[in-house]
Structure 1
């Protein structure tokens, strides 16, 4: 039968998607993380570096962060958005905190750490310099530069560093920073050696080991990211598994490393041709990930000098800030550092509208509620047709069941009678399908937006919801928030919440339960499937979705739960109008002690 085949097809695709999602969340992701950690622990000796790029790093034994910072002379960095220091050894930007973002919700929480010096665990830093074949005395990681001018790197207060190699080459580096996240490194090489030399500029963002928390979000890209003629993403796991990438040739562009919310990127002069690469160097006990570019080699005649400028972005992936830099520097697609996804044409405007709402209402949770209402209003006519069609199907369900039973041994006659019933009652079994398919792209776009929106990080909503980007903090193991303890610290079950096991497997809080209940209401208002097994599948789906979504950010659950409530209200009004019994009225009658069939 036509309607049965359609329903079976939908059920097949829904179940297949659910099985794939469950398998990805509970099997593939934990297994990939464990394998990545094992590879990092057992990494062999360092591999050979690309001849075109900067020298391969040599990773020293890990030391504490404080020890690494005090081991070299430094210049303080102080801006409204950043604090840290610049190392005179290597002239690197390797000590950086983001003042606008805290590590936790605690009032005394330190700011988010972005960069940390080489030699520490999970070192992350930006490096610029010169490379050249058979040119001795080029400054490198161990070169100590001289602070020639300035004392603190701040907006409007650049610092000047110098170094002479004693063989006729003098290097001058002027580093400036703006009031947000952009550094400008201007390098000059003066040749007084009496012999021509050929040098090429390079820039590198290097990460020595990847923290276990990086790359865990399967929805938002984390790893290598750049725009070299086109978008060039490379996930952490693939990078460490497959090794160095090919070399990409481009005019300008940018290349770097990104986490969920943070980005470090090199932006060369946009008028120069470069070669970019994601390089992997295996050192004892650690994988070194290096996103670098090498510019065109330039000959410097005796008595002449050359100057090259490179911009270094180090900060939060805030879309308006990235777009502002993109326009000012003419850096193509810099805002592509934000993973807009395949549905970027929907994700971008939805993200911008949500940010606009947040800027006006001042509460990100309220902005999510308003966005949900706006989306529902846009799709109201389509949704109304969908719910009306489903309500009509539910209304004729008893007659359909009777016909199926009456003509169960004569499928052809059964089909004829069903078609006659559809014509008589003006019911189209497929009328509810098209609106669903039209809404799916928007559904996924909203899902993506609420995963990547940095404004949702540490954003409070109401009551116990203090961070919309974190899972619901309540759970049955703390009596839904009444007992102030972390289930991960509990004996016997603590290991179930540890890293490497299915996240959120037992973490079912207040809002996930409310989401599950409202999802059950929406499915209960739909016409039942003709097959008992299909009915059981639809009954179990709200439970399955509850367990799956419980591990996601609570901001997502705010959206889905509120969307369910609006759906239930719309369906309830339509069902009352068509005089079709619905689960809400059934619940009310049961609470009142009335019979189920009562009208």
Structure 2
């Protein structure tokens, strides 16, 4: 189940599994009901906290780029027919603002293996259907005998974390609320990450009048708007198709991300105001 010969499993998945087991066993000792569900939540939050420095770097870069959007839009209009000159002017603007456009990508790339490992781990634990096989697979890769388990309690707040919302006809219509909530949370976070338009009403009117002339520029905005709807719908579909435990993980990850981004945005605004003074 957990291939120890796989480098990715050895570096990421199995260590994360052992952390999950440590939390799970601790909660079992405390006799907390729904130990696995709370373990998934605590592990997700822990990973988020570990990745916090990278997230700050990523969001700070995105914040600065958003602040430059009006100037970047002006450059795009000014040098619409000269891509080389446009790139040169954009680079100058980035240098003047002290921004490295790639700075926001690197933290995301560093986070991806951990996030993929989390997803794969929860998927393996909850999608197998054979708890005995899952337990045997887990016990083969534990770091300490204390982490070994005899069973896996899948019930959390009255729900079986292995059940899927797609089984709502057998299990109850309320399961459909899970993908809906998941999609709405994802939409909320996506909207928070979308640059706010700073154009004045006059500029907006000019843009409408010149819509035919600026089709290429509008395409980027249209794509961005489409993605703000498509991504939540896609995540919602995954939440509908996959076990509830994965939705629990994803929603915890998203809620923490929303709180984190909201707090960081306030910090960046305050930081930006202080720098202006």
Per the normalisation by structure 2, the TM-score is: 0.69
Could you list the runs of 4 or more consecutive aligned residues of structure 1 that deviate by over 3 angstroms after TM superposition? 337-342, 454-458, 472-480, 527-530
- Alignment match, 1:34: none
- Do residues 526 (structure 1) and 193 (structure 2) align? yes
Mapped partners of 1:474, 1:528: distance in 2: 38
User: Offset of 1:474 from its aligned partner?
Assistant: 8.0
- Alignment match, 1:535: 224
**Structure 1 residues 546, 342: closer, same or farther in 2, change over 3 A?**
farther
Mapped partners of 1:535, 1:473: distance in 2: 29
Deviations 1:304-344 (A, max 9, x none): xxxxxxxxxxxxxxxxxxxxxxxxxxxxxxxxx54566521
- Alignment match, 1:396: 68
Give the CA RMSD over aligned residues.
2.9
Equivalent positions of 1:149-228 (< 5 A) are none
Structure 2 SS opposite 1:409: coil
Deviations 1:244-274 (A, max 9, x none): xxxxxxxxxxxxxxxxxxxxxxxxxxxxxxx
Equivalent positions of 1:538-553 (< 5 A) are 538-539=227-228, 540-553=230-243
- Alignment match, 1:461: 156
Structure 1 SS opposite 2:155: coil
Equivalent in 20, 23, 37 of residue 354 of structure 1:
20
User: Offset of 1:565 from its aligned partner?
Assistant: 1.0
Mapped partners of 1:398, 1:416: distance in 2: 17
Structure 2 SS opposite 1:398: helix
User: Offset of 1:381 from its aligned partner?
Assistant: 0.7
How many residue pairs get matched? 216
User: Offset of 1:452 from its aligned partner?
Assistant: 2.5
Equivalent in 471, 477, 490 of residue 164 of structure 2:
471
Structure having the higher helix fraction is 2
User: Offset of 1:472 from its aligned partner?
Assistant: 3.3
**Would the aligned equivalents of 1:447 and 1:556 in 2 still touch at CA under 8 Å?**
yes
Equivalent positions of 1:115-514 (< 5 A) are 337-339=1-3, 343-345=8-10, 346-362=12-28, 363-453=35-125, 454=134, 459-462=154-157, 465-472=158-165, 480-481=173-174, 509-514=176-181
**Structure 1 residues 469, 342: closer, same or farther in 2, change over 3 A?**
farther
- Alignment match, 1:11: none
Deviations 1:366-385 (A, max 9, x none): 11111011111211111110
**Would the aligned equivalents of 1:516 and 1:542 in 2 still touch at CA under 8 Å?**
yes
**Structure 1 residues 401, 361: closer, same or farther in 2, change over 3 A?**
same
Mapped partners of 1:396, 1:477: distance in 2: 52
Deviations 1:519-567 (A, max 9, x none): 2222223355971353144221221221123211111111111111111
Mapped partners of 2:89, 2:253: distance in 1: 37
**Would the aligned equivalents of 2:40 and 2:249 in 1 still touch at CA under 8 Å?**
yes
**Would the aligned equivalents of 1:407 and 1:414 in 2 still touch at CA under 8 Å?**
yes
- Alignment match, 1:137: none
Mapped partners of 2:60, 2:251: distance in 1: 22
Mapped partners of 1:476, 1:550: distance in 2: 13
**Structure 1 residues 457, 401: closer, same or farther in 2, change over 3 A?**
farther
**Structure 1 residues 352, 425: closer, same or farther in 2, change over 3 A?**
same
**Would the aligned equivalents of 2:166 and 2:241 in 1 still touch at CA under 8 Å?**
no
- Alignment match, 2:32: none
Equivalent in 554, 569, 574 of residue 264 of structure 2:
574
**Would the aligned equivalents of 1:351 and 1:449 in 2 still touch at CA under 8 Å?**
yes
Mapped partners of 1:528, 1:423: distance in 2: 21
Deviations 1:29-88 (A, max 9, x none): xxxxxxxxxxxxxxxxxxxxxxxxxxxxxxxxxxxxxxxxxxxxxxxxxxxxxxxxxxxx
Structure 2 alignment gaps of length 5 or more: 29-34, 126-133, 136-150, 197-216, 271-277
**Structure 1 residues 391, 480: closer, same or farther in 2, change over 3 A?**
farther
Structure 1 SS opposite 2:112: helix
Structure having the higher strand fraction is 1
Structure 2 SS opposite 1:470: coil
**Would the aligned equivalents of 2:2 and 2:9 in 1 still touch at CA under 8 Å?**
no
Mapped partners of 2:262, 2:121: distance in 1: 29
Structure 2 SS opposite 1:578: helix
Equivalent in 244, 255, 264 of residue 554 of structure 1:
244
Mapped partners of 1:400, 1:391: distance in 2: 14
